[in-house]
Amino acid sequence: MEDLMQKIVSLAKRRGFIFPGSEIYGGLANSFDYGPLGVELKNNIKQEWWKRFVHQRTDVVGIDAALLMNPKVWSASGHIKNFSDPLVECKKCHTRFRVEGEISSKSLPKEIYDHIETSHPPKEGIPTVLGFESLKQDFTEKKAFNLMLKTYLGPAEGDANVVYFRPETAQAMFVDFKNVLDTSHRKLPFGIAQIGKAFRNEITPGNFIFRMREFEQMEIEYFIEEKDWEKYFDHWLEQMKQWLKDLGVSDTKLHYVDIPDGERAHYSKRTVDIEYDYPFGQKELYGLAYRGDFDLKNHMEASGQDLRYQNLETKEKFLPHVIEPTWGVDRSVLVALLEAYAEETVEQKERTTGEEIEDTTRVVMKFPAWLAPVKVAVLPLSKKENLMEIAKKIHAELSRQFVVEYDETQSIGKRYRRQDEIGTPIALTVDFQTVQDNTVTLRDRDTMKQTRIAIDKLADVIQEKLHD
Ligand code: GAP
């Protein structure tokens, strides 16, 4: 299974989905850049999410707030006090480790053992007692480490100028609640949605794009009357399940984990973590939380502004409660890549007018069509002027509607395999018959079946196939 992760990381780099960030300078720990295909894939996820949860609903509106907010936001939200990981620090080299739960002689994190063995190996002949005693001797006491990234606004670097990069997009929806309410005249229940970057100074980033310090979230704060919270909690859980199905995620890999009292985030009255069986273990993919009126109440107190909602019929004023479904964009990309990856033995040799494809295995990314970064590949069979000219015309025409890639390099077989590897659902080959009868070969990524289609029917046929 770990192997699958390596394959995904290397395919992502090789084909331009995701590169290590700042690579020519040796990288920057756990930062990644989305390449030409990665940005298309990621945008497809964000656009589908926005269409589904903002445009297609009458009860959700969107915002796009600033990443840097007044620091008072983070004291009111509890992030300055509570948004921290417990950690210990190695006294010799100051490396920090996250330690969850109570530390006892039996539950020392493996990373700590590994760290002592590799970075501070015992002197020859003197056996080390690795364990609780070593932790006490070599590491500092457990202390809370705040995960928010700090910076300074303006030329002076004093306490007065400290601001934090937002650790979640959610707070802007609470801070802007009144502005949205006043300008969009919504009635409860209604939601505010946002897609954007969030930053956390994670102690243990890793597993490719699973845990990063800079990542993207898609979040909705759905404002309700308190009495309705269970109904809308269930509603959003269903929406998240449907989303996962449409992303192509197998049900058997998903776990819906109710987080018990005492382990939930400081604001939450009920949380369901949606966890996924990654190659490196079962871990969080998305979350759904009932935040009560925690945030609005605190912002009302701290800002002195009346953030209550007024029921226009009864004239009653009260603070709405909130259901929060949250999706990580990068984890969505990671799961989409993991789920789509397939290696297949090709039983029959593929043949495209005159040329046979020798390769008997293929790597194919079986993305659902809506997710595929490129929808259609247009391939002239050879570098003959007349074939290339027709192919370029087809590209120009179809690219008004779809993301289309034109490729004239190497053999047709190699080009098919390249398109399989990036998950392009449809390949069109312009060949010698095209010149005679204005038809092209349409090859289906999954079945590898080839059919001949008239050029003037292409847009309709493709549209239909992509929405199958
Ligand atoms: N507003 C609620 C909130 O931020 P969270 O569970 O801390 O809740 C929401 O984060 C989602 O953001 C997670 O379910 C995950 O998909 C994503 N996420 C959180 N930390 C991340 C990180 N360091 N790298 C990548 N994605 C992350």
What pLDDT digit, counting tens, does each position of 222-247 carry? 999 999 999 999 999 999 999 999 99
Closest residue by Cα to atom 15, ligand 1, is 328
Cβ–ligand 1 contact at 331 (below 6 Å): yes
Neighbours of 138 (CB within 10 A): 19
Tell me: do 371 and 281 sit in the same domain: no
pLDDT (mean) for 191-217:
95
Same domain, 333 and 289: yes
- Domain with 132, as residue range(s), is 84-145
Is 160 part of a structural domain of the chain?
no
On whether both 123 and 266 belong to a single domain, the answer is: no
pLDDT cut 90: percent of the chain above it: 75
* pLDDT for 52 beyond 60: yes
Same domain, 198 and 295: yes
- Quote the tokens at residue 74: 């983070």
Going by DSSP bridges, is the β-strand pair 426-430/376-380 parallel, antiparallel, or unpaired? Answer: parallel
Pair 460, 414 in one domain? yes
- 174, 308: one domain: yes
User: Which pLDDT value is given to residue 29?
Assistant: 87
CB-ligand 1 contact for 77 (6 Å cutoff): no
- Within-domain flag for 386: yes
Pair (179, 302) in one structural domain: yes
Cis peptide bond N-terminal to 189, omega within 30: yes
Pairwise pLDDT comparison (71 vs 117), residue with the higher score: 71
Given this model, what pLDDT does residue 56 score?
98
Whether 274 and 374 map to the same domain: the answer is no
Q: Of 394, 280, 365, which is closest to residue 16 (Cα–Cα)?
A: 365
Residues 309 and 363 in one domain: no
With residue 153 as reference, give the H or E element that holds it. Answer: none
What's the pLDDT at 89?
Answer: 82
Query: Do 323 and 411 share a structural domain?
Result: no
Residue 348 CB coordination number (10 Å):
8
Average pLDDT over residues 42-59: 98
- Binned at pLDDT 50, 70 and 90, residue 125 comes out as low
Tell me, yes or no, whether 152 lies in a domain. Answer: no
| Residue 263: strand, helix, or coil | coil
Q: Which of 279, 303, 338 is the last residue of a domain?
A: 338
Q: Are residues 252 and 372 in the same domain?
A: no
Query: Is there a domain that residue 141 lies in?
Result: yes
How many CB atoms within 10 Å of residue 226? 11
221: Cβ below 6 Å to ligand 1?
no
Q: Are residues 241 and 316 in the same domain?
A: yes
Query: Measured from the CB, is residue 264 less than 6 Å from ligand 1?
Result: no
Q: Tell me which of 93, 116, 145 is where a domain ends.
A: 145
155 in a structural domain: no
Length in residues, the chain: 468
Domain presence at residue 76:
no
From the CA of 79, how far away is ligand 1's center (Å)?
Answer: 14
Tell me how crowded residue 73 is: count the other CB atoms within 10 A of its CB: 23
**Total of domains in the chain:** 3
Q: Which of 281, 315, 338 is the last residue of a domain?
A: 338
Quickly state the pLDDT bin for 87 (edges 50, 70, 90). Answer: confident
What percent of the chain shows pLDDT beyond 70? 91
Residue 369 resides in a domain: yes
Q: Helix, strand, or coil here: 195?
A: strand
pLDDT of 113 > 80? The answer is no
Q: Is 217 in the pocket of ligand 1 (CB under 6 A)?
A: yes
Q: How confident is the model at residue 68 (pLDDT cuts 50, 70, 90)?
A: very high
Residue 75 lies in a domain: no
